[in-house]
Amino acid sequence: MMIGPNYTAVKRVQSKDPAGVLQYVALEPVPVRLTVAEGIHAVSQHPNAALLWLEWMASPEAQKLADEYEPLASSVYVRGGAVEQELKGKKLSVVSWEFHQNMEKWQAQVFEAYGFPKEEGKK
């Protein structure tokens, strides 16, 4: 049995299972969060070039490459991407951009609620 905090970790372990017996279940609602937060620095020398890069990163072509080189690394929002296909029809629990800054605090609260041991010297 394995609990995969990230879907790519589960897929990586599955790829190393010679008997092909390792299976997974995505419990609903499936938690979905930003995995790669990218932006354009306010004083960027070439903000338009940066904007074009971000636009390309969201394209189906770039998302296909993401899936090829890291199992299910594409965005849930890109139609036809592996993640979108994998989660199609499932109820999602999305941590949207506006709440991304709360992730570390929420993770600490989950650890506390489960009673996991704390690192020495930290409260």
Find tokens 């299972």 and name the residue.
17
Assessment of whether the complete model's pTM goes beyond 0.85: no
33 inside domain: no
Integer Cα distance of 90 and 30 in angstroms = 7
The pLDDT > 70 percentage for the chain reads 89
Q: How many CB atoms lie within 10 A of CB 1?
A: 3
Where does the pLDDT of residue 1 fall: very low under 50, low under 70, confident under 90, or very high at 90 and above? low
Residue 123 pLDDT exceeds 70: no
Domain with 92 in it: 46-115
Count up the domains in the chain and report the number: 1
- Tell me the per-residue pLDDT of 48-86, one tens digit each, with 9 for 90 and over: 999 999 999 888 899 889 888 876 678 888 888 888 888
54 inside domain: yes
- Please say whether the beta carbons of 84 and 74 come within 8 A: yes
56 inside domain: yes
- Tell me the per-residue pLDDT of 6-32, one tens digit each, with 9 for 90 and over: 777 787 888 899 998 988 888 899 888
